[in-house]
Chains A and B, each alone.
Chain A
């Protein structure tokens, strides 16, 4: 693909230290979730983003505040990178009123109107047609916004993926398809899911430009997403980006990981996006050991505060169980 003037590096004025911090926030947040799950504070399904942080951070870095994101059930990283406060995300998983969906969504259904985060969608590919509609609304109202929908490669076997790709291309709506190819749909490897495993090629069937990038490299993700978003803002229509990534943890907390070799996981962990990026910034002279230590300490403090905030929150009262089924009259 043509990455334009930014090919090979980030755009001017971008603070890549922020990207490192964002990835670290997500990592530490997720690690804390595991702990809290074991302790029983978080229940239900919990899908961790550990290993895939570069995709969310690189993608969100290229979106503006008016743009929209439609995510999956593995969306904590997007909520955090987008600016939903970590305490509010944590409170949601605690089932508290202070949570971003007032305890009605939990881990899989984080929503935030302020940052235009439209889920947290747990029907695989089910959010994609909705994302087409969000982009269509912008197109019809002549707004220069883009919508970004995120999905795993497993979604590419669903009919909704193909319906959404076709509609988006047919109507040339500003919709970015970000595929997080982590090689497994739960426990089924990509070769047993899809007849064609060169995922970007599928976009060709819809006459849609596409790119495949190293999803373990936040710079690479950002370069690709920035180019796509710039093109879309000038009316180029939808774009497909495959980010080749890997989840280091189990699919959810109910996964014995019988389907993959420990050696494979170990191999991917050598490509952990956080140490790799940290070393790159250090070698570029942008990060020192002490500033890294400072960053670690700040993030640890934030996570502590997030847990405190969630713990101190009010359980969403049972008396409000039936609210938000229908809209409430304006006061």
Chain B
């Protein structure tokens, strides 16, 4: 994909959001493994070291727990750190800091200590990076009170959610699906809300609730299904915590059939949570059971055909929708 002058990539949008934040607020700095000299393992921060120097584009040693903890402390000390973790799998090394400190300090201190920390990380499969670089654990993080969990899927959100996250007084995690970095979209530099789902395609027969890279698969599937006169609504959840319950129930009230598409695993995942909330709040609006299309319950494998088979795809979404609409038609 190549960008026209009025467009840019998801990667560029994130980079320019970081650049704007660095220019606008001396408290903001970026730190993480290889964010400086290397330019970021997904090249998001390329060129920032030259403009802002090594204090503010801070390369860290390989110590996820150490530098995420340092980010928490810096936030407590009045800075506005953006911490980059290479991938969500590596974030598990910092899980103690994220859960036991970042998410907990405000409550445990009786409201005294805010942690205005932003942590960005790549998530998701699709690049044949196998089982230690490809998982989608954002749903896990959405389990934790005290955190906000963002999953920007669009180029506009890639730019705008970061700006809003930095203005938030509480810890915010941003999950950037690694297949999205080259996606091209309009060059917009507007802040975007960090609460609320967004309908990305209107439809009447069924609603797909999804987020991240699966949004684009769902939209492609909706296009295919439109040719068969199946009208599919596609809702981009955008934020996994807090969940936009009004948007979930509105979808059920409108199309009466819900398919959740999630690259995370099914068992105990965010799709289960969304489904349960629909049972609670929209049971009588539903014409069929809430369906889920998730990653296969395997560690993500390397081989292309295996990885593709493990993740929701356009064809499997199309098949799932047809099964629901025809069966219950």
- Contact-residue bracket for chain B: 35 or more
| Interface presence of B79 (CB below 8 A) | yes
B63, A167: Cβ atoms under 8 Å? yes
**Please, which residues of chain B bring their CB within 8 A of the CB of A328?**
111
Residue interface mask B49-90, A partner, CB < 8 A = 1: 000000100001101011111111111111101000000000
**Please, which residues of chain A bring their CB within 8 A of the CB of B66?**
129, 132, 160, 163-164, 166-167
Residue interface mask B173-198, A partner, CB < 8 A = 1: 00000000000000000000000000
| Interface presence of A140 (CB below 8 A) | yes
B70, A123: Cβ atoms under 8 Å? no
Residue interface mask A144-187, B partner, CB < 8 A = 1: 00010000000000011001101100100000000000000000
Residue interface mask A89-130, B partner, CB < 8 A = 1: 000000000011111110001011100001111010011111
Known: A123-B100, A129-B67, A137-B79. A324 touches B106 (CB 8 A): yes
Known: A111-B110, A159-B65, A163-B65. A129 touches B145 (CB 8 A): no
Q: How many residues on chain A are close to B (CB under 8 Å)? A: 47
| Interface presence of B214 (CB below 8 A) | no
> Chain B's nearest CB lies how many Å from the CB of A3?
28
> Chain B's nearest CB lies how many Å from the CB of A230?
21
| Interface presence of A56 (CB below 8 A) | no
| Interface presence of A131 (CB below 8 A) | yes
A170, B110: Cβ atoms under 8 Å? no
**Please, which residues of chain B bring their CB within 8 A of the CB of A105?**
108-110
| Interface presence of A141 (CB below 8 A) | yes
> Chain B's nearest CB lies how many Å from the CB of A121?
8
Roughly how many angstroms separate A170 CA and B54 CA in the complex, as a whole number? 13
**Please, which residues of chain B bring their CB within 8 A of the CB of A133?**
69-77, 81
| Interface presence of A327 (CB below 8 A) | yes
**Please, which residues of chain A bring their CB within 8 A of the CB of B76?**
118, 130, 133-134, 137
A101, B63: Cβ atoms under 8 Å? no
**Please, which residues of chain B bring their CB within 8 A of the CB of A130?**
69-70, 72-73, 76, 97, 101
A103, B110: Cβ atoms under 8 Å? yes
A126, B96: Cβ atoms under 8 Å? yes
Roughly how many angstroms separate A112 CA and B66 CA in the complex, as a whole number? 24
A170, B61: Cβ atoms under 8 Å? yes
| Interface presence of B112 (CB below 8 A) | yes
Specify the chain B residue showing the minimal Cβ separation from A325: B145
A326, B170: Cβ atoms under 8 Å? yes
A129, B69: Cβ atoms under 8 Å? yes
Specify the chain B residue showing the minimal Cβ separation from A106: B108
Known: A137-B79, A141-B79, A160-B65. A327 touches B170 (CB 8 A): yes
Roughly how many angstroms separate A100 CA and B112 CA in the complex, as a whole number? 9
Contact partner of B77 (CB less than 8 A), chosen from A119, A127, A137, is A137
Contact partner of B109 (CB less than 8 A), chosen from A70, A101, A159, is A101
Roughly how many angstroms separate A137 CA and B29 CA in the complex, as a whole number? 11
> Chain A's nearest CB lies how many Å from the CB of B176?
23
Interface residues of A in 163-213 (CB under 8 A from B): 163-164, 166-167, 170
A132, B108: Cβ atoms under 8 Å? no
Specify the chain B residue showing the minimal Cβ separation from A160: B65
**Please, which residues of chain B bring their CB within 8 A of the CB of A121?**
101
| Interface presence of A5 (CB below 8 A) | no
B114, A136: Cβ atoms under 8 Å? no
> Chain A's nearest CB lies how many Å from the CB of B32?
13
| Interface presence of B302 (CB below 8 A) | no
Known: A167-B67, A327-B106. A113 touches B112 (CB 8 A): yes
Roughly how many angstroms separate A324 CA and B145 CA in the complex, as a whole number? 10
| Interface presence of A323 (CB below 8 A) | yes
**Please, which residues of chain B bring their CB within 8 A of the CB of A70?**
73
| Interface presence of A135 (CB below 8 A) | yes
5 A-B pairs besides A163-B66, A325-B106 with CB distance below 8 A are A113-B109, A129-B69, A140-B55, A167-B60, A326-B170
Interchain residue pairs A-B with the least CB separation, the first 3: A133-B73, A129-B69, A137-B77
Give 28 A-B contacts (CB < 8 Å), ordered by A residue: A104-B107, A105-B109, A111-B110, A112-B112, A113-B109, A118-B73, A119-B105, A119-B109, A123-B101, A126-B97, A126-B100, A129-B70, A130-B101, A133-B69, A134-B73, A136-B77, A136-B79, A140-B74, A141-B79, A159-B65, A160-B69, A163-B63, A163-B69, A167-B61, A170-B61, A324-B111, A326-B148, A327-B169
